[in-house]
Chain A
């Protein structure tokens, strides 16, 4: 594939810019990771007191962070359970509606993506209090699901656009029931997307702070716990959490790059 043939000078400037941009992206993460191994109780890389793993041990003994991790996972699983069926139903309905009647419904279902996260948290908090449910893990699940379901719906919609409808119609003509067609044709076609949507939902939920902080009330997730600690000062234990995230992400990213370049070669 040809690249836009800029002049050599412009190309050099662009490459330098890309380099700087990548530095901006990765240097903070590198600094954060390095400080997790420093034997100094303030996270620092400029005052190096020797390599240590003591902060990893401290994290393992940190009850509130561990409980926060468990809460985060539970909330994320709850979000998957709520948002995938919602997103699926929304997408299936929208693909069958006409352009005009579909637009209003579409706007409503997509609006949470364009709403600031704190608004979603606040409105859920107020809504559920009417039913006597105070802020907590349940309200957090509901608040997060309102916009994560929209993301799931967009993924399903994109997949449904590539669907060959004649297959379903043929099955119906041959006397299959609607339920059977749905189970044997539509669902298997959407299954890979459902998996992707579940992964996206999990990640979105896990890292969410702005919505959760309002909906969580007296309970906490890993992220809200980290945030409330940062008010009192920095601790290398937080860096350890960061290192774990960085490591997991890098493994996932390298796998992805290797897989996609192998796919390219196979073609």
Chain B
């Protein structure tokens, strides 16, 4: 703190601290806290409250009849006191009915239905698959960009990788939707070859298969896997590769013993980003499946907010997702021995 004021002076130092504090509080920590809080309570709307209120009004009507037919003043006052008492109780219950009290607990988490829990687990599994596939697909490309090309080719390849990324995420998914749709490009070509019959709905339903989502997802997040690997591979001294080759190592062995070990931090970062993006992706599954293929967990979260209008349950789902992603990040960081500073490059 003291070094801060020494460097920037008191006025500027305080201003910088204020801006950073505002960022942390208003944009990061408190919203996250609000979401967690929201996930920890619910409001019971019990049907039996309505029933109780109805019964009270019935009783009051009977008492009123009794009071009207009563001539003795003392007993009449007694009836009216009873009516007033029941009226007070009814008003209280009515307030509870329209605005039920909050109950805190973990029920939003434990109440997740078996089907939703299955989708939750499946989404994690799918995200792991996407991550593993993306790693396999991207490694040769990262190697090519970082080590196996001259500077000019490396620039061209880098730009080739960035260009699809600079085009909207959604439009990238859309392009795949066009290709894999019932009347899409592949079915069109197959029809032209006479292998499927589009007029009688004889198309191949690619979009109903989870791999359609995988394909589009890898396409969408490819950059987040390639670039961390390129960054670490570029720091590898090429002489090490040549030395290994001179000593008679095969290409496969060089990759396994020299290049991949060196790329480890990049692999960890790439996997972390890809897993986080795919597990939390709403765009790709929502657009690619259109409700036909299997849901991803993010779609359930969306529905809790915008269809069931159950923000408490939705928050609980979101928190569950966040916990899984955080756990994955921590495990990868531990396994590969990378710190946060390596991730954010």
Contact = CB atoms under 8 A, between A and B. Distances in A.
| Co-assembled chains A and B | yes
B219 A24 contact: yes
A4 B122 CA distance: 41
Interface stretch (A14-22, A50-58, A59-67, A188-196): A14-22
Interface string A43-54: 111110000000
Interface string A227-257: 1001100100011011001100110110011
Chain A interface main SS type: helix
A219 B107 CA distance: 33
B191 interface: yes
Contacts of B298: 116, 118, 210
A46 B273 CA distance: 36
B18 to A, nearest CB: 8
Which range holds the interface residue count of chain A?
Answer: 35 or more
A256 B306 CA distance: 42
A207 B168 contact: yes
Contacts of A231: 290
A26 B150 CA distance: 22
Nearest to B216: A28
B8 A4 contact: no
Contacts, number: 281
Nearest to B23: A86
Contacts of B20: 86, 89-90, 93, 105, 109
B314 interface: yes
Interface string A82-121: 0001100110110011100001011111111111111110
B179 A31 contact: yes
B179 A28 contact: yes
In this complex, the member of A29, A168, A206 whose beta carbon has the largest number of chain B beta carbons within 10 angstroms is A29
B156 A3 contact: no
Nearest to B343: A114
B16 A209 contact: no
A149 B241 CA distance: 39
In this complex, the member of B8, B279, B345 whose beta carbon has the largest number of chain A beta carbons within 10 angstroms is B8
B175 interface: yes
A203 B322 CA distance: 25
B155 A260 contact: yes
B35 interface: yes
B167 A110 contact: no
A245 B164 CA distance: 10
B287 A230 contact: yes
Contacts of B181: 234
A5 B277 contact: no
A178 interface: yes
Given A89-B16, A106-B341, A25 B160 contact: yes
Contact of B167 (A45, A113, A114, A242): A242
Interface in A177-235: 177-179, 182, 203, 206-210, 213-214, 223, 226-227, 230-231, 234
Contacts of A162: none
A73 interface: no
A199 B314 CA distance: 34
B221 to A, nearest CB: 11
Contact of A14 (B140, B281, B290): B140
Nearest to A116: B280
B160 A226 contact: no
Contacts of A203: 166
A114 to B, nearest CB: 6
Nearest to A180: B9
Interface in B290-345: 290, 298, 301-302, 305, 311, 314-315, 318, 321-322, 325, 329, 340-341, 343-345
22 contacts: A4-B238, A5-B242, A18-B140, A28-B179, A29-B172, A31-B185, A44-B188, A46-B189, A85-B19, A93-B17, A107-B340, A114-B329, A118-B280, A122-B318, A127-B31, A154-B345, A178-B11, A210-B298, A230-B174, A245-B167, A249-B167, A256-B159
Given A115-B322, A203-B166, A207-B168, 20 more contacts: A3-B148, A7-B251, A28-B178, A44-B184, A46-B189, A86-B20, A86-B23, A93-B4, A109-B23, A115-B276, A115-B280, A116-B321, A118-B321, A119-B322, A123-B318, A154-B345, A214-B302, A238-B174, A242-B167, A260-B155
Interface of A: 1-7, 10-11, 14, 17-18, 21-22, 24-26, 28-29, 31-32, 35, 42-47, 85-86, 89-90, 92-93, 96-98, 103, 105-120, 122-127, 130, 142, 145-146, 149-150, 154, 168, 177-179, 182, 203, 206-210, 213-214, 223, 226-227, 230-231, 234, 238-239, 241-242, 245-246, 249-250, 252-253, 256-257, 260-261, 264
